[in-house]
Amino acid sequence: MDEGLKMHKIIDQTNDAGHALLRVVLDEYPHMREMTKEAELGVQELSDLPDHAFAWPGRRQFPIHNREHAIISYGYSKHASALPSDVTERLDTAVDAYDIDTSAFEAPLQLEKEASNEEWLLPEKSRFRIKEAADVGYAEEALHSRYNELDIADRATAMRNLVKVAARYAVELRPLTHKLGSFTMTSTRRLQDYVAARCSVATKLGSEVAPAYSMLEKELQKRDPYIAETVEQVKVARLLEGLDKQSGVDAYYAKGVPDPLRSVFNTEKLASEQVQINGEFFDKTLLGGIPVTFWKDALGDDVVSEITTDGEVSPDKLSEVIMTLPQDVKTTLVTQLKPYKK
């Protein structure tokens, strides 16, 4: 059960340098402070414990030898979504055995959130809290440092929410954060290359999963040049994640094979800034920059009145109108737009 997690660093009180993460946990779940004020966090005490005193015996992590440490371990586990099921079960058993009130780990009341203007990048799990502009940078660092611990969908959701929050606070983020959080389009050609590379690695490893990569590559060859639908993109990323774990390819993420999210969101083109017309994508800004006379000839005066403001074409309004056009008009429009796409 440990194979899929061997490359991930999961933090608890045994390896939390300076108890930095513990401070975050206590801040998120303030009721823990009173419940654990008698806890001894000395390295020597923990090193003297037998393996069975830990919820994760193989790694000697998440000590549960007494009530205080069971509470602390349970708190740390809230920041480690990649924990094996048997470890989670041991933690739950310890919580029950010590009769620990788990309401201490529930998200703060909505009234309290509103009073402090705080929000969470993963609201449903109450993780990665932001209360002020200064927290944006800390949250970004935490997201990247715990990137491999998060589920594919959680990574995508947290990154996207971070981009939105950073924009409100006018905080600059890393280019990679924008790429993963703003949801760029997927180049199926580039994705095929990444899948082929995985197939090669899986074959060298002698994995029985290798043919599955070949099948996926063939399916991608039938697809349009780009994928822009977020649900489908995340679905492909999850599929890759599952295959990578089964084949052992996940051990090569830092050795030339991009992880699933980077493999899928693999262009600089933001999906939200593109308009799809008959399977082809056009940049909104490019369309908005085309002379009004073109749109009059292509779509007529009535449509132009809907897409212009003070004589200027509104890319957003134009995009909305294009989506409602009849199929034959879209087909003709793609042909007319080709000279502008070059």
Which of 181, 209, 234 corresponds to the end of one domain?
181
Contact present, 324 and 299 (Cβ < 8 Å): no
Identify whether residues 171 and 132 lie together within a single domain: yes
Closest to 296 in 3D by CA, of 336, 244, 264 = 336
Contact present, 92 and 68 (Cβ < 8 Å): no
Res 32 pLDDT > 90: no
Q: 254: buried, middle or exposed (CB in 10 Å: 19+, 13-18, 0-12)?
A: exposed
Identify whether residues 33 and 116 lie together within a single domain: no
Share of the chain above pLDDT 70, in %: 90
Identify whether residues 38 and 85 lie together within a single domain: yes
Contact present, 269 and 187 (Cβ < 8 Å): no
Across 24-52, average pLDDT: 82
What is the tens place of the pLDDT at every residue in 221-271? 998 888 888 778 888 998 999 999 999 999 998 788 999 988 998 888 776
Res 93 pLDDT > 80: yes
Res 111 pLDDT > 50: no
Identify whether residues 66 and 116 lie together within a single domain: no
What is the tens place of the pLDDT at every residue in 130-160? 888 888 988 898 888 888 788 777 888 888 8
The predicted pLDDT at position 282 comes to 81
Across 190-203, average pLDDT: 95
Contact present, 306 and 316 (Cβ < 8 Å): no
Res 108 pLDDT > 60: no
Across 272-301, average pLDDT: 82
Identify whether residues 286 and 201 lie together within a single domain: no
The predicted pLDDT at position 168 comes to 83
Across 94-114, average pLDDT: 69
Q: Which of 12-26, 199-213, 259-273, 302-316 has the lowest mean pLDDT?
A: 12-26
φ, ψ of residue 130 to 5 degrees: the values are -130, 120
The predicted pLDDT at position 312 comes to 84
In angstroms, how far is the first alpha carbon of the chain from the final one?
52
Which of 264, 298, 320 corresponds to the end of one domain?
264
Domain extent at residue 332: 271-341
Give 3-state DSSP helix, strand, coil % of the chain, rounded to 5. 60, 10, 30
Coil/strand/helix, residue 121: strand
Closest to 214 in 3D by CA, of 223, 231, 202, 224 = 202
Identify whether residues 202 and 169 lie together within a single domain: no
The confidence band for 17, taking pLDDT boundaries of 50, 70 and 90, is: low
Across 172-191, average pLDDT: 83
Closest to 102 in 3D by CA, of 129, 133, 124, 70 = 70
What is the tens place of the pLDDT at every residue in 39-81? 887 777 788 899 999 999 989 999 999 999 999 999 888 877 5
The predicted pLDDT at position 306 comes to 86
Site of tokens 């997690």: 5
Gap between the Cα atoms of 81 and 143, Å rounded: 13
Write out the H or E segment, with its range, that includes residue 157.
Answer: helix 152-169
The predicted pLDDT at position 219 comes to 93
Which of 237, 264, 291 corresponds to the end of one domain?
264
Confirm whether pTM is higher than 0.75.
Answer: no
Tell which wins on pLDDT, 295 or 316. Answer: 295
Across 291-303, average pLDDT: 87
The predicted pLDDT at position 2 comes to 42
The count of structural domains within the chain is 4
Coil/strand/helix, residue 283: strand
Identify whether residues 121 and 53 lie together within a single domain: no
The predicted pLDDT at position 110 comes to 39
Identify whether residues 164 and 236 lie together within a single domain: no
